[in-house]
Amino acid sequence: MLAIFDKTRYMTRLLYYLLLTCICKYTVAQQPYWQQQVNYDIRVTLNDADHSLDAFEKITYFNNSPDTLHFIWLHLWPNAYKNDRTAFSDQLLVAGRTDFYFSSDEQRGYINRLNIKVNGNVVLTTDHPQHQDIIKIVFTTPLAPHSSCVIETPFHVKLPYNFSRGGHKGQAYQITQWYPKPAVYDKKGWHPMPYLNQSEFYSDYGNYTVHITVPKGYVVAATGEQQVSTTADTDKSNSLHYQQNNVHDFAWFADKRLLFHQDTVQLPSGKMITAFAYTIKNDKNAAAWKNVLPLLKKAVLTRSALLGDYPYSTIKVVQPDVDYAWGMEYPTITAISNVQTPGQLEGLLEHEAGHNWLYAAIGSNERLHPWMDEGMNTYYGTRYWKNEVDINVRTPVKQPFLKSRMPENMNFFGLENAIATNTDQPINQPADLYSGNQYDWAVYHKASRWLQAIQQQLGTPLFDSCMQQYYQRWLFKHPYPEDFKAVLEEISGSNMDSCFALLQQTGSLPGNTHAAKTNKLASFFSFKQTNLYRYHFIAPAVGFNLYDKLMIGAVLHNYTLPAQKFQYLLMPLFATGSKQLNGISRAAYHWLPKKTWSKIELSLNYSRFSFNHSTDTSGKKITENYKRLVPAVRFYLKNHNATASSYIDMRSFILTEKYFDSYNYITGSDSSLLYPSAFTNSTRYINQLTFAHNNSRVLYPFSYQVQLQQGKGFYRINTEGNYFFNYAKGGGMAVRFFAAKFGLMGTGSNTAYLYQPKLLAGNGEDDYTNSHYFLGRTASTAFGSIPVNNGGLAAQQVMIQNTGGLKLRLDPYTSVQGYSGNWVMAVNFSSTLPQKLFPIKIPLKVFFDAGTYAEAWNNDEEQSRLFYTAGLQLSLFKNVLNINAPLFYSKAFKDQLKTDPENNKFFKKISFSINLQEIKLKKFVPQLVY
Q: What is the pLDDT of residues 36-60, one digit of tens each?
A: 999 999 999 999 999 999 999 999 9
For every residue of 683-715, DSSP letters joined together read EEEEEEEEEEEEE--SSS-EEEEEEEEEETTEE
Give the mean pLDDT of 792-799. 96
Q: Is the pLDDT of residue 18 over 80?
A: no
| Predicted confidence band of residue 14 (pLDDT cuts 50, 70, 90) | very low
Q: Give, in order, the Cα–Cα distances in Å from 546 to each of 63, 319, 477, 575, 582.
A: 82, 58, 74, 11, 14
Q: What are phi and psi of 533, to 5 degrees?
A: -120, 145
**Cross-strand pairs, 690:** 649, 707
What share of the chain has pLDDT > 90, as a percent? 79
Q: What local confidence, expressed as pLDDT, does residue 2 receive?
A: 32
- Within 576-596, strands assigned E span 581-591
Give the mean pLDDT of 857-880. 88
CB burial of residue 346 (10 Å; 0-12, 13-18, 19+): buried
Q: Is the pLDDT of residue 794 over 50?
A: yes
Q: Give, in order, the Cα–Cα distances in Å from 770 to each of 403, 577, 798.
A: 37, 20, 13
Q: What local confidence, expressed as pLDDT, does residue 548 receive?
A: 97
- Residue 519 has, within 13 A of its CA and on its CB side, a CA count of 5
Residue-wise burial string across 143-163, b where 16 or more C-beta atoms lie within 10 A, e elsewhere: beeeebbebbbebebbbbbbb
Q: 911 CB contacts (<8 Å, ≥6 apart)?
A: 761, 796, 797, 798, 807, 808, 809, 883, 884, 886
Distance, in Å, from the CA atom of 438 to the CA atom of 429, rounded to the nearest integer, reads 11
Coil, helix or strand at residue 161: strand
Q: What local confidence, expressed as pLDDT, does residue 398 receive?
A: 54
Give me the sign of the Cα torsion angle 876, 878, 880, 886.
positive
**Cross-strand pairs, 147:** 63
By C-alpha distance, which of 448, 259, 480 is closest to 365?
Answer: 480
460-473 helix and 447-458 helix, angle to the nearest 10 degrees: 120
Q: What local confidence, expressed as pLDDT, does residue 405 receive?
A: 86
Distance, in Å, from the CA atom of 71 to the CA atom of 139, rounded to the nearest integer, reads 5
For every residue of 326-379, DSSP letters joined together read EEEEETTEEEEE---SHHHHHHHHHHHHHTIIIIIIB---TTT-GGGTHHHHHH
By C-alpha distance, which of 294, 339, 331, 290 is closest to 312?
Answer: 331
By C-alpha distance, which of 794, 911, 896, 899 is closest to 849?
Answer: 911
Helices (H) and strands (E) in the chain, counts: 13, 43
By C-alpha distance, which of 377, 386, 351, 374 is closest to 442?
Answer: 374
Q: What local confidence, expressed as pLDDT, does residue 324 receive?
A: 80
Per-residue pLDDT reduced to its tens digit, 131-169: 999 999 999 999 999 999 999 999 999 999 999 999 999
Q: What local confidence, expressed as pLDDT, does residue 776 receive?
A: 96
Cα-trace Rg, the chain: 35
Q: What local confidence, expressed as pLDDT, does residue 138 receive?
A: 97
By C-alpha distance, which of 41, 50, 85, 39 is closest to 156?
Answer: 50
Which range among 19-23, 96-100, 383-387, 529-533 shows the weakest confidence by mean pLDDT?
A: 19-23
Q: Is the pLDDT of residue 423 over 60?
A: yes
Give me the sign of the Cα torsion angle 681, 683, 684, 687.
positive
Which range among 491-505, 547-561, 672-686 shows the weakest confidence by mean pLDDT?
A: 672-686
Q: Is the pLDDT of residue 555 over 50?
A: yes
Give me the sign of the Cα torsion angle 392, 397, 400, 405.
positive
Give the mean pLDDT of 340-369. 95
Give the chain's end-to-end CA distance (angstroms, integer).
Answer: 70
Q: How far does CA 703 lie from the centroid of its chain?
A: 18
Cis, peptide link before residue 562, omega less than 30° from 0: yes
Which range among 31-45, 251-265, 305-319, 737-751 shows the weakest confidence by mean pLDDT?
A: 737-751
Which range among 283-297, 396-410, 650-664, 719-733 shows the weakest confidence by mean pLDDT?
A: 396-410
Coil, helix or strand at residue 862: coil
> 410: how many CB neighbours lie within 10 A of its CB?
15
Distance, in Å, from the CA atom of 495 to the CA atom of 478, rounded to the nearest integer, reads 23
- At 293, which helix (H) or strand (E)? helix 292-306
Distance, in Å, from the CA atom of 40 to the CA atom of 42, rounded to the nearest integer, reads 6
Distance, in Å, from the CA atom of 774 to the CA atom of 786, rounded to the nearest integer, reads 20
| Predicted confidence band of residue 916 (pLDDT cuts 50, 70, 90) | confident
CB 643, CB 697: distance < 8 Å = yes
Give the mean pLDDT of 704-710. 98
Give the mean pLDDT of 64-78. 98
- Residue 800 has, within 13 A of its CA and on its CB side, a CA count of 30
Q: For the chain, what is the mean pLDDT?
A: 91
Give me the sign of the Cα torsion angle 660, 663, 664, 670.
positive
Give the mean pLDDT of 687-696. 97
In the sheet where 181-182 sits, what is the strand order? 124-127, 134-143, 69-75, 181-182
Q: What are phi and psi of 796, to 5 degrees?
A: -105, 5
By C-alpha distance, which of 585, 600, 660 is closest to 624?
Answer: 660
Q: What local confidence, expressed as pLDDT, does residue 860 receive?
A: 67
| Predicted confidence band of residue 668 (pLDDT cuts 50, 70, 90) | low
Q: What local confidence, expressed as pLDDT, does residue 669 receive?
A: 46
CA dihedral angle for residue 154, residue 160, residue 163, residue 168, rounded to 10 degrees: 100
CB 770, CB 688: distance < 8 Å = no
DSSP 497: H
Per-residue pLDDT reduced to its tens digit, 817-864: 999 999 999 999 999 999 888 888 899 999 999 999 999 998 765 678
> 637: how many CB neighbours lie within 10 A of its CB?
15
Q: What local confidence, expressed as pLDDT, does residue 921 receive?
A: 58
By C-alpha distance, which of 122, 112, 104 is closest to 155?
Answer: 112
| Predicted confidence band of residue 746 (pLDDT cuts 50, 70, 90) | confident
> Global pTM?
0.88
| Predicted confidence band of residue 233 (pLDDT cuts 50, 70, 90) | confident
Q: What are phi and psi of 831, to 5 degrees?
A: -130, 140
Q: Is the pLDDT of residue 546 over 90?
A: yes
Give the mean pLDDT of 452-462. 96
In single-letter form, the type of residue at position 50 comes to: D
CB burial of residue 380 (10 Å; 0-12, 13-18, 19+): buried
Give the mean pLDDT of 321-332. 90
Which range among 308-317, 504-513, 710-719 shows the weakest confidence by mean pLDDT?
A: 504-513
Higher pLDDT, 512 or 395: 512
- At 227, which helix (H) or strand (E)? strand 225-227
Per-residue pLDDT reduced to its tens digit, 178-224: 999 999 999 999 999 999 999 899 999 999 999 999 999 999 999 99
By C-alpha distance, which of 668, 671, 667, 735 is closest to 700?
Answer: 735
Distance, in Å, from the CA atom of 834 to the CA atom of 829, rounded to the nearest integer, reads 16
Q: What local confidence, expressed as pLDDT, does residue 401 receive?
A: 80
By C-alpha distance, which of 758, 738, 890, 750 is closest to 819?
Answer: 758
